[in-house]
Structure formats: structure tokens, C-alpha cells
Amino acid sequence: MEQRIIESVLKDLGIKNKNYGANSGSSTGWIKTGGKELVSYSPISGQPIASIVQATRSNYDAIMTRAKTGFEKFRMMPAPERGQIVRDIATVLREKKEALGALITLETGKIKSEGQGEVQEMIDIADFSVGLSRQLHGLTMHSERPFHRMYEQWHPLGIVGIITAFNFPAAVWSWNALIAAVCGDVILFKPSSKTPLTAIAIQNCIAPVVDKYDIDGVFNLIIGERAEVGDPLLNDSRIPLISATGSTAMGKKVATQVAARLGRSLLELGGNNAIIITKDCNLEMALRATLFGAVGTAGQRCTSTRRIIIHTAIKEQFLTLLIKAYEQIKIGDPLKDDTLMGPLIDSQAQANMMQAIETAVKQGAKLVYGGTRLKIPGLEQGSYVTPAIVEAANHYPIVQEETFAPILYIIEYKELEDAVRMHNDVPQGLSSSIFTDSIKDQELFLSHKGSDCGIANVNIGTSGAEIGGAFGGEKETGGGRESGSDAWKNYMRRQTNTINWGENLPLAQGIVFNIKGVQK
């Protein structure tokens, strides 16, 4: 990893050796934090990139005060004007795409084109949000009472807390922050402590836009430890919505804490995604989708393909092709153009992967490829692995879990109904897919007795969703929906309005409540 590249990327994005961990959006919005130092290490080399002075509880309170003031002004700005702000943010993101994408690669270890792709996703969401800013519409319904009009409208919610996972440190901010912003909310962003620099870079990128529109307090950032920042955020009744992306274990804690104060949570949690491969599918397409799904982002996407449920008749043929393809995958420095798989996020993730493979074998599985630690010359401190292929049965306890690493379980089936049953027989319900040329099989998979996931694809892998659809999953994935479609409704409060423009006061349901001498 070249020091020169790192230095130019950091300079371009305004990252210093030591940074503050709280900001209210504008170029003067940094708060002199006084908490513990947090060092961001690159998973590529294991070397430190830069550090952050984390926020304390009192820094949290200061940011909340600015957020509250910011909201009072921002909610009265017409939504299409808020859309203009997001449009300017999209312009900055286009200008900074290269640098921000490179920083994402540096901090997460995902390959260069995926780092760039993540910024493109931010741009796409921004463009989508600009259009949305003119479409935040409610319904009008006919009143049962004469001379009455009834309709519903959507108001901004207030301060939205955004907790993000390390693996999409920028895109998940945009899914929430940009849509919430056109809705008139202000944002309090708490990133993963594994990827704090990307969060700081986002703040620096948008600061000129915040300055131009004088909206300090709308896009707030806070980086800090659980006791100082995480818990206050979850317990704070000034925050009506917490949108949390991360593991199911985290989601259970967030859901419980936020529910205890009757706040709302929007949860985007772990997946255990499978592709069903039928015997009459286009096998080459299925193979390519499996490769990107299982090995892309080193198996560290919520939508990564973790299980292949394949018809017995083609299993051996597919496995041979898959192993051949795995042997070709270039693993190493994700900043290099020809690398297809970078490192895992840290040594803990590497240890978790090794442990999961050992457990799988103990439970009866067979490791057929990879699953080893890898030393890349010059990058010995990085957490590199060879992706693993494991023949297993769906009911093994380890197969039921999401291991956030490139482990692909191969499971056989004979009847499609069994394949679908096994497919659904896991606690998570995020993304799913079937490869088949049979219309009947496609329709079964998409029917009420088919996939139980939030995302169900035909002849497309599990990984890499477009932003136009609502994104999220069922069961232990948390039930949240973000991004496209009508996911914006999560960030607003619905109000039903009834207006009486007549001379009488009829009650609903025909109730009579007459008091002598008061009504005509």
C-alpha cells in the first residue's frame, strides 16, 4: 500500500492525523472533543491511518442542542428546497467520488471498484431523494360527514439517529441521511468505530453545502464509546427514530432500549442468504452470481451469499466449476486494479471465520476448498484469508448463523419444495435468489409459500441491490425497509386532518350528543 496514495486521499478529504469526533455539519461545526483516542487501522496493512478524539457525554449534549436548533429552522424549509441541498451534496459526491471511494477501500478493505461503487450508491440515493423532495404526498379520503374534508399529510419527525455498520460506512449514511433530510429531519450519525474516518470525510465533503445554505445542525456526527454516546443516543427521548444497521445481536439491544421509551427503531440486521440452483438453469450465470455473492467484499455484505441449495443432479458439476473459479480469484491489496478480494476487517473477523469452519467440520460438514489464513507479502499484518467452500446440511447450528466472512455452504436438494423449505429454515430473512429457466419454479419461489425474505430475485444473485426498491429483510434481519420505494415514510410522521367547512357539528358514526340550549 503506497503511503503517497494514502496521504493524497486524506488531504483531499480533509482528514488530519488527529481529528475531532463531533461535528454539526458546517465547516465551523467541529466540537473540541475530549474523550478517549480511537485509532483507525487499515485492514489492508494493519497500519494506523489516523486517529480521532472521541466525544464525551457533554460533547453529545452539545451536539444535541445544535441538532434541536437546526431542526426548528430546517423543518420550515419547503421540501423541494431541501431537495436542492441534497442535489448540491450529490454534486460534491461526484467530485469526491475517487477520493472517498479510495478512503472506503483503505478503511474497510473492500476492492477499489466496490469502494467507488459505494460512492455511486450515495450519488444514486441523492438523485432519488431530490426527486422525492417533490413527492412526499399523502392521501385524500372522502369524509362520511357533509361539508367535511379529510386528508393525511406527512410531517418531519425530528432528530433521526443513524447507527451504521463497518461494511457500508458511507452508503448506509446516505440511505438514511439524504432521504431523512428531504423529509425535513436532522441527522445524528454514529458510525462504526472501525470506520470513523469515512464518517469524518463525509462531514468534510458536505460542509461547503451546509455553509452555503446556512443549515448548521442538520447533518450531525458523533463518534464515541457506548457509555458516552451509544447508550445516551438510544435512551434519548428527543430522538424519535433510531435507524440501526448491524448485527442481529446489536439490533436486539437497540430494539429493546428504544422500545422501552416507546421510540421507533428501523432495523437492518444480519442475513443468511441463499441461492437455489435448479437443474434446468443457466449454470454459467448461476456460477457468476455465486462468485460475486460469496467472495465479493470478502463475504462481508449483509446480502453475501452464504448458502447454495443445489439440485443433486448438478451438484458435482457445479462444485468442480466453482472450485476452478475460486482458484483464479486474486486475493491481496484491494487498491490494486486486478484484486478481486481484499482482507477481512480485522484479526477478530479472521479468527471468527477459522472458528466457524472448525465448528462446521465438528458438526459434520466437509471443507472442500480454502478456509485458511493468508499472508500477503508486504501486507503481513492484514487479515487475509482464502474463501471457503463447505459441504454441509442446512440444519447444522453453524449454518443457521451468519458468519461475516467468505464461507459458502453447499447444500443438496432433490425436490424444489424441500429446497424452499430449507431456504426459509434459518432465523434471518434478508436476500434470496433462485436460478432457473422454469417459470413454474420461479413463480413458486416468489409465491406466498416461496421465499420468506425481504428481497427475492430470479436469475440474479443475492448481493448488490438497486436503490430504487425498498431494502431490508424479515425475521431476525429486523423488518426495516430503507432506500427506495416508499421507505421515506419511516422518516416522517403521518397526520390525519379533518376540516369542517359547514355550519353543523355532526359526529362520526352518527353519534348524537345533544345538549339543550347549546346546539341549534
- Is residue 239 part of the contact set for ligand NAD (CB under 6 A)? no
Contacts with 319 (C-beta within 8 Å, 6 or more apart), sequence order: 368, 389, 410
> Which of 294, 302, 310, 465 touches ligand NAD by CB under 6 A?
302
- Is residue 245 part of the contact set for ligand NAD (CB under 6 A)? yes
Question: Which CB atom, from 133 or from 424, has the smaller least distance to ligand NAD?
Answer: 424
Interatomic CA distance for residues 441 and 458, integer angstroms: 10
Per-residue interface string for the shown chain with ligand NAD, residues 330-349, x marking contact by CB under 6 A: --------------------
Alpha-carbon separation of residue 506 from 498, 513, 516 (angstroms): 12, 9, 16
Question: Which CB atom, from 1 or from 255, has the smaller least distance to ligand NAD?
Answer: 255
Q: Give the burial string for 347-386 (b: 16+ CB within 10 Å, else e).
A: eebbebbeebbebbeeeebebbbbbeebebeebeebbbbb
Of 302, 402, 453, 476, the active-site residue reads: 302
Question: Which CB atom, from 29 or from 230, has the smaller least distance to ligand NAD?
Answer: 230
Local structure of residue 230 (DSSP, 8 states): I
What is the H or E stretch that residue 417 is in?
A: helix 416-424
- Is residue 253 part of the contact set for ligand NAD (CB under 6 A)? yes
Question: Which CB atom, from 28 or from 348, has the smaller least distance to ligand NAD?
Answer: 348
Q: Which stretch binds ligand NAD (CB under 6 A): 137-145, 151-159, 249-257, 275-283?
A: 249-257
Q: Quote the least distance from Cβ 475 to ligand NAD, whole Å.
A: 12
> Which of 29, 196, 271, 464 touches ligand NAD by CB under 6 A?
271
Per-residue interface string for the shown chain with ligand NAD, residues 201-230, x marking contact by CB under 6 A: -------------------------x---x
Interatomic CA distance for residues 305 and 292, integer angstroms: 8
Q: Quote the least distance from Cβ 41 to ligand NAD, whole Å.
A: 15
Question: Which CB atom, from 116 or from 192, has the smaller least distance to ligand NAD?
Answer: 192
Question: Which CB atom, from 318 or from 471, has the smaller least distance to ligand NAD?
Answer: 471
- Is residue 269 part of the contact set for ligand NAD (CB under 6 A)? yes
Q: Is 302 assigned a catalytic role?
A: yes
Q: Quote the least distance from Cβ 191 to ligand NAD, whole Å.
A: 6
> Cβ-closest residue to ligand NAD?
246
Reduced to 3 states, what is the DSSP secondary structure of residue 505? coil
Burial class (CB in 10 A: 0-12, 13-18, 19+), 289: buried
Q: Which amino acid is at 421?
A: R
Question: Which CB atom, from 96 or from 190, has the smaller least distance to ligand NAD?
Answer: 190
- Is residue 470 part of the contact set for ligand NAD (CB under 6 A)? no
Query: Taking CB under 6 A as the criterion, which residues in 407-446 touch ligand NAD?
Result: 430
Q: Quote the least distance from Cβ 249 to ligand NAD, whole Å.
A: 6
Strands (E), 312-448: 366-369, 373-374, 384-385, 388-391, 407-413, 428-429, 431-435
Question: Which CB atom, from 61 or from 152, has the smaller least distance to ligand NAD?
Answer: 61
Helices (H), 183-269: 196-213, 231-235, 248-260
> Which of 22, 44, 182, 250 touches ligand NAD by CB under 6 A?
250
Local structure of residue 506 (DSSP, 8 states): P
Of 114, 121, 228, 268, the active-site residue reads: 268
Q: Which stretch binds ligand NAD (CB under 6 A): 41-49, 97-105, 263-271, 289-297?
A: 263-271
> Which of 158, 196, 270, 371 touches ligand NAD by CB under 6 A?
270
Interatomic CA distance for residues 385 and 18, integer angstroms: 31
- Is residue 168 part of the contact set for ligand NAD (CB under 6 A)? yes
| Pairing of β 305-311 and β 273-277 | parallel
Alpha-carbon separation of residue 83 from 121, 127, 228, 490 (angstroms): 17, 9, 33, 18
The DSSP line for 83-111 is: HHHHHHHHHHHHHHHHHHHHHHHHHH---
Give Rg (Cα) of the chain: 25
Query: Taking CB under 6 A as the criterion, which residues in 103-162 touch ligand NAD?
Result: none
Contacts with 56 (C-beta within 8 Å, 6 or more apart), sequence order: 33, 34, 35, 224, 228
- Is residue 404 part of the contact set for ligand NAD (CB under 6 A)? yes
- Is residue 268 part of the contact set for ligand NAD (CB under 6 A)? yes
Question: Which CB atom, from 228 or from 268, has the smaller least distance to ligand NAD?
Answer: 268
Q: Quote the least distance from Cβ 402 to ligand NAD, whole Å.
A: 6
- Is residue 166 part of the contact set for ligand NAD (CB under 6 A)? yes
Neighbours of 25 (CB within 10 A): 26
- Is residue 198 part of the contact set for ligand NAD (CB under 6 A)? no
CA-based nearest residue to 429, from 444, 405, 450, 415: 450
First to last CA, the chain: 85
Contact by Cβ (8 Å): 420, 318: no
Q: Quote the least distance from Cβ 301 to ligand NAD, whole Å.
A: 7
Contacts with 76 (C-beta within 8 Å, 6 or more apart), sequence order: none
- Is residue 246 part of the contact set for ligand NAD (CB under 6 A)? yes
Burial class (CB in 10 A: 0-12, 13-18, 19+), 198: buried
Give the binding site for ligand NAD (CB under 6 A): 163-168, 192-193, 226, 230, 234, 245-247, 250, 253-254, 268-271, 302, 402, 404, 430, 477
Residues carrying an active site annotation: 268, 302
